[in-house]
Amino acid sequence: MTNHWLMKSELDVYPWSQLQIDGWTHWDGVRNYQARNMMRDDMKVGDMVMFYHSNCKPPHVAGIARVRREGYPDFTSWDAKSKYYDEKSSPDNPRWFMVDIEPVLSFDSIVDLPSMRGEVNLEDMPLLRKGQRLSVQPVPEEHFEHILRMAGHTMEDVE
């Protein structure tokens, strides 16, 4: 059973184009317990991920990625030189977790936030709720598919 997710990245921190260049990346630096729990417990190899650019105009989904490695400790959390360092995390007792993702499909046309807000079918999508800030969130399959279609694609393009 494949699940669907949305992950946010700031455009000027780690953009979709960089993921394409890198081929895959570890999703390090998440320091929120809800998001951590999802990466540690719920995200499985093969799960689909909408790659969302935040902090840009307009914010948008740029493409689809896939989980290639399930939750494992975020090693930047015990690297004193990392900006994500957390003195309470250690290899023996890791506090933060991450997954690895790889790009699957680059959208022909991005799907921006105003467009998503205009869709009745996406009305109850968590992303669109005021004040929600989770950088990792689940996406119901029907929302996932709807956004794919908005981008001019179908589920077949990611299978």
Partner DNA sequence: GCCAACGTTGGC
Q: Pick the closest to residue 20 from 111, 103, 110 (CA basis).
A: 103
Q: State the binding string over 30-59 for DNA (x if CB under 7 A, else -).
A: --xxx-------------------xxxxxx
- Give whichever of 35 and 65 is closer to DNA, judged by the CB atom: 35
CA distance 131 to 90: 32
Q: How far is the CB of 112 from DNA (least distance, A)?
A: 9
- Give whichever of 45 and 56 is closer to DNA, judged by the CB atom: 56
* Beta-bridge partners for 48: 4, 66
| Six-digit token string for 38 | 């999802």
- Give whichever of 76 and 135 is closer to DNA, judged by the CB atom: 135
Number of shown-chain residues binding DNA (CB under 7 A): 21
The correct pick among 15, 134, 140, 157 for binding DNA (CB under 7 A) is: 134
Place of tokens 């895959």: 24
Give the range of 71-79, 95-103, 127-135, 145-153 binding DNA by CB under 7 A: 127-135
CA 106, 39, 5: angle at the middle one, nearest 5? Answer: 40
Q: State the binding string over 77-116 for DNA (x if CB under 7 A, else -).
A: ------------------------------------xx--
Residues 6+ apart with CB under 8 A from 50: 4, 5, 6, 7, 61, 63, 64, 139, 144, 147
- Give whichever of 105 and 128 is closer to DNA, judged by the CB atom: 128
CA distance 100 to 108: 24
Binding site for DNA (CB under 7 A): 8, 10, 32-34, 54-59, 113-114, 117, 129-135
